[in-house]
Structure 1
Amino acid sequence: MAFRPSNVHWLWMSAAIILLDQVTKQLVFRSLLQYERVELLPILNLTHLHNTGAAFSMFADFPPWVFILLGVGVSIWILWWLRRHPRDERLLAVALCLVLGGALGNVIDRATRGYVVDFIDFHWGGWHYPAFNVADMAITLGALLMVLDMFLSGRRTANSSNA
């Protein structure tokens, strides 16, 4: 079997996400008291919140180690995938590196604080979208890019079998 360069060169993106995530959380943690809110726009606040659960605070009663193990497990799988798959799968590699950076950003919070610091609060009238952070944005964007990659891969497969 010939050597195939892997996708590990994309890990800089994960490191950048982790750094940006931790810096922004630390700024919020040091600048705002818990539940303190600063209005940035009529529909956007910075609000210092602590999330002990998963997305949208689901499973908030679970101990932090459950989410730490899950985040580490997903991260190990992503690293394995990046090492084993060919370099030409760029979109999926970028998507997975975004998820990796976000997962590890939140794992760091859970391991050091026991909860995740959330602070981006969109609202309209009396409705508030659940608060989130940079790591959550990276995970969401990564997941959307994975769906796009699956759609594009399916189209490429269909086009190649029709040719």
Structure 2
Amino acid sequence: MNRFTTMRILRNIVLLLTVLTNIGCDQISKDMVRKHISYYEHISVVRHHFTLTNVENTGAFLSLGNEWPSPVREILLVVLPIIALIAGLAVILFKQGLSALFRLGASCVIGGGIGNIIDRAVRGSVTDFLHLKFGIFQTGIFNLADVSIMVGTFLVMYSFYKDRNPSPKLPA
């Protein structure tokens, strides 16, 4: 095995571990919430700025699709995302020329996506439990998979920006 092949294998192991870590943290946190926080119970962590609660979301982001018929919801929120996540995983593992930052961000998005799909496929809903409120700024209730998806999306977007705007060369 040459050095290039060894580096690619190590890179792919790191990416798969990143995906699995995101899934694991998400699933463990949701399991703890289901076991220790009653539905709609509010636990203030930092005054009323950061609270924990336990809600089940049968839809997607901000309950989008909550009212859709079950077969439509299954296709749009489980089947199609599974296909997209498998394709994304194949891209980050096998496509040449992608930056490390892009691969890392995409692995966070994929791990978070899989975490939420596990909930939808097994439970029929996604457990959400985190809520932030600062003055007029307030989030919906979300989970660690959502955090992973947002962080990953930021990293992917930043990688595009960084790749398009290379650092200026310093004069010699």
TM-score between the two structures when normalised by the length of structure 2 = 0.82
Task: Report how many residues are paired.
Answer: 158
Change (3 A) 1:82 1:38: same
Q: What is the deviation of 1:84? A: 2.1
Equivalences for residues 18-97 of structure 1 within 5 A: 18-42=23-47, 43-62=49-68, 63=70, 64-65=73-74, 66-86=76-96, 89-97=99-107
Provide structure 1 residue ranges, at least 5 long, that are not aligned to the other structure: none
Q: Aligned partners of 1:126 and 1:148: how far apart in 2?
A: 27
Alpha-carbon RMSD across the aligned residues, in angstroms, is 2.4
Counterpart AA for 1:86 = Q
Q: Out of 12, 20, 28, which is 1:15 matched to?
A: 20
Provide structure 2 residue ranges, at least 5 long, that are not aligned to the other structure: none
Counterpart AA for 1:8 = N
Q: Aligned partners of 1:34 and 1:152: how far apart in 2?
A: 43
TM-score between the two structures when normalised by the length of structure 1 = 0.86
Runs of 4+ off more than 6 Å: none
Q: Aligned partners of 1:81 and 1:89: how far apart in 2?
A: 12
